[in-house]
């Protein structure tokens, strides 16, 4: 896999931008993103722009998120080494790779077959392997492997998926965009008890919609 000094230099510039301009302060997040070659997760036609703070189209009419969005969501998740993290929406696998680079135990679900196939291949080639990778319905989560320390939803849900909250440990956190338009509000839910949650709001973002059922 091609990851040259030019790529690494551009990646370092991106990390500096995320820290200085976006305000990301978690060195664990920044360090992980500095190690993951984002250009390998997008089409080669976009390679020269891979380390700009831009989203790009990927398979199945989806997008790879802006690096700033990945950094902000990951920072909100407050990842610790060895934690079990449920990721809803593997996409091309870039966010997954960042979490794995942070030494989290990642359980990830993707409903689009083309993206599931692509992400499985690229993560294997980079030797960044999730604990479990599934082609399935993200609304259902992975109850067999629950409970999870953290849940990260990388697509915008119209309604709060309560099944995912059930699969969260007490004390755990879920970061999720919620909204019925092409713009959603990013929330963090902290599970206080089996029936109580603290909700925090972190501004407006644009995510692809969270949809039910597999798509072949």
Please tell me the predicted confidence (pLDDT) of residue 215.
Answer: 57
Give the pLDDT confidence of 135-179 residue by residue, as tens digits: 998 989 999 999 999 999 999 899 999 999 999 999 999 999 999
- Cα distances (angstroms) measured from residue 154 to each of 88, 96, 165: 6, 10, 15
Q: Mean pLDDT for the chain?
A: 94
Per DSSP, 202 falls in state E
SS3 183: coil
Question: Is the confidence at residue 106, as pLDDT, over 70?
Answer: yes
Question: Is the confidence at residue 62, as pLDDT, over 90?
Answer: no
Question: Is the confidence at residue 216, as pLDDT, over 80?
Answer: no
Bridge pairing between strands 168-178 and 148-153: parallel
| 68 is known as an active-site residue | no
Question: Is the confidence at residue 117, as pLDDT, over 80?
Answer: yes
Q: What is the mean pLDDT of residues 99-128?
A: 97
Please tell me the predicted confidence (pLDDT) of residue 59.
Answer: 86
Catalytic residue among 44, 65, 134, 215: 65
Neighbouring residues of 212: CB distance < 8 A, sequence distance ≥ 6: 111, 137, 139
Bridge pairing between strands 184-191 and 197-205: antiparallel
Give me the residue spans of the domains in the chain: 5-205
Bridge pairing between strands 84-88 and 105-110: parallel
Question: Is the confidence at residue 182, as pLDDT, over 80?
Answer: no
Please tell me the predicted confidence (pLDDT) of residue 201.
Answer: 96
Strand-pairing partners, residue 134, are 109
Two structure tokens written together for 81: 């080494």
Contact at 8 Å (CB) between 67 and 49?
Answer: no
Neighbouring residues of 107: CB distance < 8 A, sequence distance ≥ 6: 84, 85, 86, 87, 130, 131, 132, 133, 134, 142, 145, 148
Q: What percent of the chain has pLDDT over 90?
A: 85
Q: What is the mean pLDDT of residues 179-208?
A: 91
Per DSSP, 193 falls in state S
Q: Whole-angstrom Cα distance, residue 78 to residue 91?
A: 21
CATH 3.40.50.150 fits 5-205, yes or no: yes
Residue written as token pair 């790879």: 64
Give the pLDDT confidence of 10-36 residue by residue, as tens digits: 999 999 999 999 999 999 999 999 999
pTM confidence score = 0.94
């Amino acid at each position: 896999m091609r990851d040259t000094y030019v790529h690494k230099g551009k990646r370092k510039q991106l990390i500096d931008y995320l820290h200085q301009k976006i305000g990301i302060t978690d060195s664990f997040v920044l360090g992980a993103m500095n190690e993951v070659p984002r250009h390998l997760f997008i089409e080669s036609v976009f390679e020269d722009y891979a380390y700009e703070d831009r989203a790009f189209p990927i398979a199945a009419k989806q997008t790879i998120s802006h690096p700033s969005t990945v950094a902000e969501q990951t920072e909100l998740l407050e990842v610790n080494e060895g934690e079990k993290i449920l990721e809803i929406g593997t996409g091309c696998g870039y966010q997954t790779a960042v979490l794995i680079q942070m030494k989290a135990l990642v359980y990830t679900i993707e409903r689009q077959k083309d993206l599931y196939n692509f992400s499985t291949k690229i993560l294997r080639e980079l030797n960044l392997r999730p604990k479990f990778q599934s082609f399935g319905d993200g609304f259902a989560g992975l109850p067999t492997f629950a409970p999870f320390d953290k849940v990260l939803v990388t697509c915008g849900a119209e309604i709060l998926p309560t099944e995912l909250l059930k699969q969260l440990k007490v004390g755990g956190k879920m970061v999720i965009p919620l909204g019925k338009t092409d713009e959603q509000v990013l929330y963090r839910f902290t599970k206080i008890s089996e029936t109580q949650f603290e909700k925090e709001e972190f501004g407006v973002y644009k995510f692809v919609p969270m949809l039910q059922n597999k798509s072949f």
